[in-house]
Amino acid sequence: MTPILLVTGFEAYGDHDANPSMEVAKALDGRPIGPATVRSAVLPVHHAEASRRVAALLDEHDPAAVLHLGLAPGRARIALERVALNVMDYEIPDAAGHLARGEACVPGGPAAYFSTVPVARILAALLAESIPACVSNTAGTYLCNQTLYTTLHRLATTGRAAAAGFVHLPLSPAMVAARGQELPSLDPSLATRAVEIALAVVAGAAPLSERSR
Amino acid sequence: MTPILLVTGFEAYGDHDANPSMEVAKALDGRPIGPATVRSAVLPVHHAEASRRVAALLDEHDPAAVLHLGLAPGRARIALERVALNVMDYEIPDAAGHLARGEACVPGGPAAYFSTVPVARILAALLAESIPACVSNTAGTYLCNQTLYTTLHRLATTGRAAAAGFVHLPLSPAMVAARGQELPSLDPSLATRAVEIALAVVAGAAPLSERSR
Amino acid sequence: MTPILLVTGFEAYGDHDANPSMEVAKALDGRPIGPATVRSAVLPVHHAEASRRVAALLDEHDPAAVLHLGLAPGRARIALERVALNVMDYEIPDAAGHLARGEACVPGGPAAYFSTVPVARILAALLAESIPACVSNTAGTYLCNQTLYTTLHRLATTGRAAAAGFVHLPLSPAMVAARGQELPSLDPSLATRAVEIALAVVAGAAPLSERSR
Amino acid sequence: MTPILLVTGFEAYGDHDANPSMEVAKALDGRPIGPATVRSAVLPVHHAEASRRVAALLDEHDPAAVLHLGLAPGRARIALERVALNVMDYEIPDAAGHLARGEACVPGGPAAYFSTVPVARILAALLAESIPACVSNTAGTYLCNQTLYTTLHRLATTGRAAAAGFVHLPLSPAMVAARGQELPSLDPSLATRAVEIALAVVAGAAPLSERSR
């Protein structure tokens, strides 16, 4: 059976009328990556629904790896998140109007989980292709961090072997043009290429190779 | 006779091993823009040779308009320069090792010249195409500003009717990847499209239309 | 007769509830600087009234030098403006609700005037006192630039010998605390010290020395 | 017996010739804070010695709370660190020339520890005093993060009741003046006041009050 690489993006949120993470996720749906195939989904920016949706996707696809994508306005490079913290501290309300303040993602859960995709190797692969990228030490305290945390927690507590990680994408040039502010951007087509490269590293990593045997 | 739109880029300089302004200029050479045709050239980052080269190009092509392109590391958007100042205050030496400090571009020349391309209309055209752009009020005090100043001064003092302007381009994604710093970038293909749009506005502006009759 | 150094600040404007340029100007009123004395005034952020007020102050005090102060949100250092452009291109309305768009400060005036205070020497004096400072090549296109332009134009066209310049100040720490944004600040007491040093350089400069003989 | 508040700063490191965290720590040594007294120390920027020194200080003083201070070049506000990660990923070598790359601070330790000082209440107290401050979600991956991690780990594994936290300070104005770069700064005297306020919040928090009975 073909291993599945689950890729998620988020819906538009806040004062943004688009979300490149959604575009990139959709663009990759069905794409073959080595021995694996991408299945993508779009998550709501919702404190409770996002993780429920991921839980259902894990059950449905039993993926070999999960790569969540999100938007990081103000960032100039593809950011590979190293860690997820057990905290929700929203600066703006989510799609349900919920404004979490200093709450735990999972009460009683550990302070943090490290991403289980090989961020240093993904970084090297991206830079080798001349794509601006970095390892990030904070995924924030909004839905992006929360989604990575809850996914890693679910994988850890349900004994699934899937690797999981998070990639933050800069604004698109069109979004910066519409905002009229001096903010960095990255072309969604380059972001798509970056995520494809990241997935190839993940798919070629030992755990997946063994799994796919 | 077909009107000529002269486009110039610069060679790589300082610690940069590339210069998107050169790539964009080369990519546009020969391109038809409305009734006009682009002729492009690459200028040395040299306090004396750059303006000499432009003077020769003006004599050779008698262009309807001149658009100089340059690199602005750290900028996130296409920057349409509004003005050139009569000052050279280099932060790094030029290709000849010259480090100008508080000198005039043209001793006795006016303090500044405004660009004579319609920057507000070019900005509107770029934003309408969802390309991140802005009007900039300073082209710096290095070769970019100097080249715009000396071109505008030459045009003003020789009575040529050509419009002249300057467009600053962000770093390319590949340059940011190589530098390993959190700096904004813009894809050279999008920058090329931006300059093409700017040229179309310039070519459609009244002075050129009249001239091309 | 004691030479007068005229220092101006601006009132609060836009969404700011304070303006360090006003505080600094007031703090310096009456201060002796070498052989000279400071007289300070606060200008309205008004497209027409600001320059009228300066004209009246020039008539009243016949100052040896004029140093305008203004706020530059986002700047991290004391910024010594090199030049004023003949353009008003407001991003926010002034106190009268006027939103100038691409107008001249003085129709028919030159494109720009260079500041006539010795910015390089002031910079050196500030850095020697370990105060973060820089020379800036754009004073923007709002009231700050306009005030420097109209003052320099008035001095040039009325034959007064006074030197004139502009110093931009960062936000105060209290303003950044109130805004809750990651923006640089500088303590108003350090800004006051910086302006005092700048005035001492201006007062010690040859034109003033000669004048004060 | 008077409860002790242990405050540490760091020595100068990298290309910095000063470190405001050291100045602030020294300035606070012996200062009474409510019922408690500050004892301060300066730590070497050394991957092994810094935590050994802290361990000795904990044994010597048995402090009610520990507040580590460090320098965060580029930050504009007092940053209250929320969390320490179990990772060392140095961008520059430490004082011993060691360049840790993706190593654990404590092999086998948890992924992260949350700071045990009340960062939200400290933030509120600082903003109430008009001091620019924020909660930060990453203390980096250098000595600052490592020191907070190893201190929290030691406290957790040795059963000491002391609270522990980390405060990052911006560059000083003098350091920015010397660097000649557009970087934010904060006056060390304001930073000292900020740390004093933070210590007062910590000293007034329930665990310390109970402890000091």
For the four alpha carbons of D160, D162, D168 and D171, in that order, the dihedral sign comes to negative
A32 — contact with chain D (CB < 8 Å)? no
pLDDT for position A205: 66
Cite the beta strand spans of chain B per DSSP E: 4-10, 32-33, 36-43, 65-71, 78-81, 83-85, 88-89, 101-103, 112-114, 133-136, 163-169
Across C148-155, average pLDDT: 98
Smallest Cα distance from D32 to chain A, Å? 31
Tell me the C-alpha distance between C12 and C1, whole Å.
34
Report how far Cα A212 is from the mean position of its chain's Cα atoms: 22
| Angle (nearest 5°) at CA D189 between D188 and D192 | 85
According to DSSP, the residues that pair with A134 across neighbouring strands are A79
Q: Which residue has the tokens 């509120």?
A: D124
- The catalytically annotated residue of C46, C81, C105, C153 is C81
- The catalytically annotated residue of A16, A23, A47, A81 is A81
In single-letter form, the type of residue at position D165 comes to G
Across A155-183, average pLDDT: 97
Looking at the partner chain, which of B126, B130, B184 has a beta carbon nearest the beta carbon of A184? B184
According to DSSP, the residues that pair with C25 across neighbouring strands are none
Question: What is the 3-state composition of chain D as percent helix, strand, coil, each rounded to the nearest 5?
Answer: 35, 25, 40
Q: Helices in B3-98 by DSSP H: which ranges?
A: 20-28, 49-61
pLDDT for position B210: 40
pLDDT for position D208: 45
Residues of D catalogued as catalytic:
81, 144, 168
Q: Do C112 and B83 touch (CB under 8 A)?
A: yes
Q: In what helix (H) or strand (E) does residue A77 lie, and over which residues does it extend? A: none
pLDDT for position B207: 47
Please state, rounded to an integer, the average pLDDT across all residues of chain D. Answer: 95
According to DSSP, the residues that pair with A67 across neighbouring strands are A7, A165
pLDDT band at C138 (very low <50, low <70, confident <90, very high): very high
pLDDT for position D1: 77
Tell me the C-alpha distance between D177 and D179, whole Å.
6
State the burial class of residue D209 (Cβ atoms within 10 Å of its Cβ: 0-12, 13-18, 19+).
Answer: middle
pLDDT band at B53 (very low <50, low <70, confident <90, very high): very high
- The catalytically annotated residue of B16, B46, B105, B144 is B144
Smallest Cα distance from B99 to chain C, Å? 16
Tell me the C-alpha distance between D184 and B75, whole Å.
19
pLDDT in tens, C27-69: 999 999 999 999 999 999 999 999 999 999 999 999 999 999 9
pLDDT in tens, D132-155: 999 999 999 999 999 999 999 999
Check if the beta carbon of residue A80 is closer than 8 Å to that of residue A132: no
Q: For residue B101, what are its two tokens?
A: 């400090």
Across A154-174, average pLDDT: 97
Q: For residue D105, what are its two tokens?
A: 């601070």
Tell me the C-alpha distance between C10 and C46, whole Å.
10
pLDDT in tens, D82-98: 999 999 999 999 999 99
Touching chains, D (3+ CB pairs < 8 A)? A, C
Smallest Cα distance from D44 to chain A, Å? 24
Q: At residue A212, does pLDDT exceed 90?
A: no
pLDDT in tens, B109-139: 999 999 999 999 999 999 999 999 999 999 9
Q: Which residue of C129, C130, C172, C190 to mutate against D (max D Cβ within 10 Å)? A: C130
Q: Do C173 and D76 touch (CB under 8 A)?
A: no
- Which residues of chain C have a CB within 8 Å of the CB of B140? 137
- Which residues of chain D have a CB within 8 Å of the CB of A83? 85, 87, 111-112
- Which residues of chain C have a CB within 8 Å of the CB of B87? 82-83, 114
B141 — contact with chain C (CB < 8 Å)? yes
Touching chains, C (3+ CB pairs < 8 A)? B, D
Q: Do C132 and D75 touch (CB under 8 A)?
A: no
Looking at the partner chain, which of C132, C173, C190 has a beta carbon nearest the beta carbon of D132? C173
B183 — contact with chain A (CB < 8 Å)? yes
Q: Which residue of B91, B121, B137, B142 to mutate against C (max C Cβ within 10 Å)? A: B137
Q: Do A177 and B76 touch (CB under 8 A)?
A: no
Looking at the partner chain, which of C102, C110, C138 has a beta carbon nearest the beta carbon of B111? C110
pLDDT for position B1: 77
Check if the beta carbon of residue A168 is closer than 8 Å to that of residue A79: yes
Smallest Cα distance from D140 to chain A, Å? 7
Tell me the C-alpha distance between C44 and C8, whole Å.
10
With CA atoms as reference, report the closest residue to A155 among A94, A68, A38, A26. Answer: A68
Q: List chain B domain ranges.
A: 4-211
Closest chain B residue by Cα to residue A123: B177
Residue D181: CB atoms within 10 Å: 15
Lowest mean pLDDT across A130-134, B159-163, D181-185: B159-163
Looking at the partner chain, which of B113, B114, B140 has a beta carbon nearest the beta carbon of C137? B140
Tell me the C-alpha distance between A123 and C73, whole Å.
35
Architecture per CATH, domain C4-211, reads as: 3-Layer(aba) Sandwich (3.40)
pLDDT for position D13: 95
pLDDT in tens, A50-107: 999 999 999 999 999 999 999 999 999 999 999 999 999 999 999 999 999 999 999 9
The 3-state DSSP class for residue B25 equals helix
State the burial class of residue A88 (Cβ atoms within 10 Å of its Cβ: 0-12, 13-18, 19+).
Answer: buried
- Which residues of chain B have a CB within 8 Å of the CB of A176? 76-77, 132
| A14 φψ region: left (φ > 0), alpha (ψ -120 to 50), beta (else) | left
Report how far Cα A184 is from the mean position of its chain's Cα atoms: 20
Looking at the partner chain, which of D134, D185, D186 has a beta carbon nearest the beta carbon of C182? D134
Across A199-205, average pLDDT: 91
Q: Do B85 and C87 touch (CB under 8 A)?
A: no
The separation between the first and the last C-alpha atoms of chain A, rounded to the nearest angstrom, is 10
pLDDT in tens, B77-96: 999 999 999 999 999 999 99
- Main-chain dihedrals φ then ψ at residue C107, nearest 5 degrees: -55, 130
Q: In the annotation, is C168 catalytic?
A: yes
Q: At residue A196, does pLDDT exceed 90?
A: yes
Quote the DSSP letter at residue C185: B
According to DSSP, the residues that pair with A138 across neighbouring strands are none
pLDDT in tens, D194-210: 999 999 999 986 444 44
- Which residues of chain D have a CB within 8 Å of the CB of C132? 173, 176-177, 183, 185
Q: CB contacts < 8 Å between A and D, how many?
A: 42
C174 — contact with chain D (CB < 8 Å)? yes
- Main-chain dihedrals φ then ψ at residue B6, nearest 5 degrees: -85, 125
Looking at the partner chain, which of A102, A110, A140 has a beta carbon nearest the beta carbon of D111? A110
Please state, rounded to an integer, the average pLDDT across all residues of chain C. Answer: 95
